[in-house]
Chain A
Amino acid sequence: MILVPHLNLFDSRGNLVSLGKKVGSGGEGDVYEIAPHRRDVLAKIYHKPLNGERQEKLRLMVNGCNDDLKEFAAWPLGLLHAGKNGPVCGFVMPRISDCEPIHKVYGPSHRKESFPNADWKFLVRTAKNLAAAFYIIHKYGYVIGDVNEGNILVTKKACVRLIDCDSFQVQTRDMIYHCEVGVAQFTPPELQKSKDFKMVRTQNHDNFGLAILIFLLLFMGRHPFSGVYKGKDDMPIERAIAEYRFAFGRSAALKAMALPPNSVGLSIVPSEISSLFELAFTESGLQSGGRPSANDWWNVLDALEKRLKKCPTESMHTHYTGLAICPWCNLENNSGILLFLSSDTISRIDVIAEWQKVLAIKAPGPIPEIKPRNYRCLPAPLSPETARALIFRKIRQAVAALLLIISAVLVMWVWSAGPGIYKTSDLACLVPAAIAGLILMYPGRDTAEKKHRKKEFEDARYSWRLWEKKWKAEAGNAEFAAQLGALTVLKGKYEAIEQEYKNALVTLQHTSREHQQKKFLENCFIDACTSPGLSENRKAALRSFGIETAADIVPYKIMSIPGFDSALTNELMNWRKQQESRFVFEEEKRVSASDIQGLIHTFQPKIRPVEREILIGIEKLHSIQQQIFKNRAKFQPIVEKSARDLAQAHANLSVFALTGKFF
């Protein structure tokens, strides 16, 4: 693939340049160190020979280089030629190190890993520095063109660095050297429709990408054109940009867009800033110079920096002073995610105090018992006619019973007389039974009343069953007990994580002691050993076996050296022990703050969701308890009435002697 012979590489003055280690590789070329020992620069060598235009573009960039540009950009400092005075095949550029791509700064998940100490102030500063970088590029007449999340880097101090500068658009009085690449997410609406990037790029185009990046930085990695789209069709980001569907803007609703869940809106920034976003992301930005310039952004971000305050509850939360409540606490509490790691403790709550709150919530206790059988009711009196009809019915029932017995006796008599032989006259045995049937079916005056009472009873029983179910479900203490159980489990989880963190701290301290002691022993050279058996020759022998300090003295190593017997080994071991006894553990150097912070940052994301669930759980426990008490007070009279009604209906029906398991 590489067509350029590296051995034949010259700078523009005709000096031979030799390359060192390859440090990077891209689509267009590879990046090398320059041997010997030029730590501050790197060389980019293209895979393929460059055409005349590309060579000329690089030449112009080298000529245009100045201190402003090379301070933060991997700007071409000098050309590299294939052969003495040969074609340009690469260039020398400032080495940019200790940086991360900007997407690791604005994306919360990566930021917590790569920039654990970064708060919103850091993000505002990064945005301001980004505006400064664009300002300088634009000031010297260049256009970045390919603004994207990968070629802008950020240092640990929020400084911005630009790489891949050879793709910038370079312009002279009569020639434009194009930037032929781009990434749609950062490409303005007016360029979205073209299939390639062969057009002239303007600073107004760059300013769209700048506004997108500033938005990503200030709004937790949310892209301004990624919202909840109300339509049914797909809304890819490039279409949303082309149609000016700024999801956070004033006219978002008109564009059928809404804020994504778990995001913050434009209200978290001062109005000077939100109006710049409106300008940048709507049709008004289209005309030349319509979008805020890098300078405009720098000014408002600089002003914002002076109006930041720390949240009183979480020191890592910084926000605009114009806000009454901390937007990050709000978002973290609502979403359950951790936006910023905090530096001092793993937990934001005091679990013991929280548990006191749990214990203070009085348990509702078992449900008050309401049962129909606890009500003793007398049957409602019957009207005289019904009462008489009932007595008559009882007499009829007795008669019918008698007739049935007669019938049965007759049947048995016929049966025993001659089994197998039946005559038609034998059917006469069944006549009393038939009469009994007629008597029983005779509709007395009581039937209507009985039917009525039975219906009442059934209605009452139906109603009672519903009330009983509701009573148990809504006034019972099962939900409270379950919630309390869940909280206990959560507390256990919380304490387990806390314990794990404490153990890790102890291990850290322990290893730091071992580490210190090892360091100490590594400084006790055997030259200083005055043990009588250890002659200079023997010391030399030890050294030739790699035993130079007390730390190296281990019995099995010594024994394997010719001429070292166990007596001599013991002597050496004793010397080592003497040195060990001189070792003093330096408390203050015990564990560094950054070590502890590293641990905190590991444990914070683990404990934070549990913490949140505990807080929500306590609130829920309290509301469950309140609800139970409220329901008990509310439902008790009506449930009792239902039970009493059923008991009464049962008593009423019992006069008709139809007892059974009714409730």
Chain B
Amino acid sequence: MSDDTMLDQQPLGPVTFAENPEPRCPCLLLLDTSGSMAGKPIAELNAGLRSFYEELQGDSLAVKRVEVALVSFGPVRIISEFNTADFFLDPTLEAEGDTPLGEAIIQGIDLVRKRKDEYRANGISFYRPWIFLITDGSPTDEWQRAAAAVREGESSKSFAFFAVGVQNADMSVLRQITVRQPLKLQGLRFREFFQWLSNSMKSASRSNPGDRILLSPPSGWSEI
């Protein structure tokens, strides 16, 4: 509202929190947009992402509770900070660059930490954040520090970190990053993956998972 004025800035956060004080269910997507994703994979990813948001928008409770942030890497870019699905700006990701997976994870974890601080400051309850890493390659930067940060976050229950490998992803690296079993996407079934994710988010936003992570079995998109 007041970008072009000299008035005191009203940060969007607290205002939205007062209007919608429902508990939040944060979900961060770390999306590989390196050069190897060019063509059909990136198109499928974009379509899947769009349907993901549409699903969430169509659910009157999830639209108030689920908050999604998008970080793409190749190079690392914060496409969207945490927001409810009605704030979705269709980004149309483009494939470019290499795979700075480590940096993406570090920045993503930072984003989650900041959002949690905002929830705390505004008296908004929240569920344990979910981070989904989706990649089709192997990291081109130093990822060991990121892996340590993931392990640290998992053991302190700060978030739950899931990795999804696409096509030629280096699954052995993913196994070293996550404490959970990484999953392999069947072909380019991004849509099925996002359908599954939105269903999981919807049911998570209705229950109170606490320590439990209520994920339905990854059927329809995963190779396992």
Chain A residues in the interface with B (C-beta under 8 A): 101, 103-104, 107-110, 149-150, 183-185, 220-223, 225-229, 234-240, 247, 258-263, 331, 335-337, 479, 482-483, 485-486, 489-490, 609-610, 613, 616-617, 620
Interchain CB contact under 8 A, A226 and B123 = yes
Interchain CB contact under 8 A, B210 and A109 = no
A616: chain B residues at CB < 8 Å are 7-8
* Interface 9-residue window, one of B9-17, B91-99, B100-108, B180-188: B9-17
Within 8 A of A (CB), among B1-29: 1-2, 4-8, 10, 14-15, 17-23
B145: chain A residues at CB < 8 Å are none
A610: chain B residues at CB < 8 Å are 1
Interchain CB contact under 8 A, A225 and B7 = no
Give CA–CA (A247, B4) in the complex, Å: 37
Knowing A260-B123, A613-B5, A616-B8, the reply to whether A109 touches B64 (Cβ < 8 A) is: yes
Q: A223-B125, A260-B21 are in contact. List 16 more A-B contacts (CB 8 A).
A: A101-B60, A109-B20, A223-B23, A234-B116, A234-B158, A235-B120, A235-B125, A237-B208, A238-B208, A240-B125, A258-B123, A335-B18, A337-B15, A337-B18, A485-B6, A613-B5
B19: chain A residues at CB < 8 Å are 108-109, 337
Chain B residues in the interface with A (C-beta under 8 A): 1-2, 4-8, 10, 14-15, 17-23, 60-61, 64, 116, 120-128, 157-158, 206-208, 210
Interchain CB contact under 8 A, B125 and A617 = no
Give CA–CA (A92, B128) in the complex, Å: 40
Nearest first, the 8 closest Cβ-Cβ pairs linking A and B are A260-B123, A184-B208, A262-B18, A486-B5, A237-B125, A486-B6, A226-B125, A228-B123
Give CA–CA (A150, B60) in the complex, Å: 10
Interchain CB contact under 8 A, A234 and B157 = yes
B14: chain A residues at CB < 8 Å are 261-262, 335
Give CA–CA (A260, B126) in the complex, Å: 14
Give CA–CA (A235, B116) in the complex, Å: 11
Min CB–CB distance A486 → chain B (angstroms): 4
Give CA–CA (A237, B120) in the complex, Å: 12
A109: chain B residues at CB < 8 Å are 19-20, 64
Interchain CB contact under 8 A, A185 and B15 = no
Give CA–CA (A472, B21) in the complex, Å: 45
- Interface of chain B: mostly helix, strand, loop or mixed: loop
Checking A185, A220, A336 against B10 with a beta-carbon cut-off of 8 angstroms, the contacting residue is A336
User: What are 26 inter-chain pairs, A to B, with CB distance below 8 A?
Assistant: A103-B22, A104-B60, A108-B18, A109-B64, A150-B61, A222-B21, A222-B123, A223-B21, A228-B122, A234-B157, A236-B126, A236-B127, A238-B208, A258-B123, A260-B17, A260-B21, A260-B123, A261-B121, A262-B14, A262-B18, A263-B18, A486-B4, A609-B1, A610-B1, A617-B7, A620-B8
Checking A149, A184, A239, A609 against B61 with a beta-carbon cut-off of 8 angstroms, the contacting residue is A149
Min CB–CB distance B18 → chain A (angstroms): 4
B18: chain A residues at CB < 8 Å are 108, 220, 260-263, 331, 335, 337
Specify which of A150, A222, A247 lies most central, judged by the most chain B CB atoms within 10 Å of its CB. Answer: A222
Interchain CB contact under 8 A, A183 and B206 = yes
Nearest A-chain residue to B116, judged by Cβ: A234
Nearest A-chain residue to B23, judged by Cβ: A237
Min CB–CB distance A12 → chain B (angstroms): 34
Knowing A103-B64, A107-B64, A262-B14, the reply to whether A613 touches B125 (Cβ < 8 A) is: no
Knowing A108-B18, A149-B61, A236-B126, the reply to whether A183 touches B210 (Cβ < 8 A) is: no
Interchain CB contact under 8 A, A107 and B21 = yes
Knowing A261-B14, A337-B19, the reply to whether A490 touches B207 (Cβ < 8 A) is: no
Specify which of B20, B121, B123, B207 lies most central, judged by the most chain A CB atoms within 10 Å of its CB. Answer: B123
Min CB–CB distance A617 → chain B (angstroms): 5
Interchain CB contact under 8 A, B23 and A108 = no
Give CA–CA (A109, B60) in the complex, Å: 11
Interchain CB contact under 8 A, A236 and B208 = yes
Checking B6, B116, B122, B208 against A261 with a beta-carbon cut-off of 8 angstroms, the contacting residue is B122
Min CB–CB distance B162 → chain A (angstroms): 19
Give CA–CA (A101, B62) in the complex, Å: 13
Min CB–CB distance B133 → chain A (angstroms): 22
Nearest B-chain residue to A101, judged by Cβ: B60
Min CB–CB distance B127 → chain A (angstroms): 7
B64: chain A residues at CB < 8 Å are 103, 107, 109-110
Min CB–CB distance B123 → chain A (angstroms): 2
Min CB–CB distance B213 → chain A (angstroms): 13
Interchain CB contact under 8 A, A226 and B21 = yes
B15: chain A residues at CB < 8 Å are 262, 335-337
Min CB–CB distance A47 → chain B (angstroms): 16
Specify which of B4, B7, B210 lies most central, judged by the most chain A CB atoms within 10 Å of its CB. Answer: B7
Min CB–CB distance B207 → chain A (angstroms): 7
A263: chain B residues at CB < 8 Å are 18, 21, 123
Min CB–CB distance A256 → chain B (angstroms): 12
Min CB–CB distance B7 → chain A (angstroms): 5
Knowing A107-B22, A184-B208, A220-B18, the reply to whether A620 touches B122 (Cβ < 8 A) is: no
B121: chain A residues at CB < 8 Å are 228, 261
Give CA–CA (A489, B10) in the complex, Å: 17
B157: chain A residues at CB < 8 Å are 234
Min CB–CB distance A132 → chain B (angstroms): 25
A335: chain B residues at CB < 8 Å are 14-15, 18
Specify which of A103, A236, A479, A483 lies most central, judged by the most chain B CB atoms within 10 Å of its CB. Answer: A236
B23: chain A residues at CB < 8 Å are 185, 223, 226, 237
Interchain CB contact under 8 A, B10 and A103 = no
Give CA–CA (A623, B208) in the complex, Å: 49
Specify which of A110, A149, A150 lies most central, judged by the most chain B CB atoms within 10 Å of its CB. Answer: A110
Give CA–CA (A228, B126) in the complex, Å: 12
Checking B1, B20, B208 against A613 with a beta-carbon cut-off of 8 angstroms, the contacting residue is B1
Give CA–CA (A183, B203) in the complex, Å: 11
Checking A223, A262, A490 against B5 with a beta-carbon cut-off of 8 angstroms, the contacting residue is A490
Checking B125, B127, B208 against A183 with a beta-carbon cut-off of 8 angstroms, the contacting residue is B208
Give CA–CA (A227, B18) in the complex, Å: 12
Checking B5, B124, B210 against A184 with a beta-carbon cut-off of 8 angstroms, the contacting residue is B210
Nearest A-chain residue to B121, judged by Cβ: A228
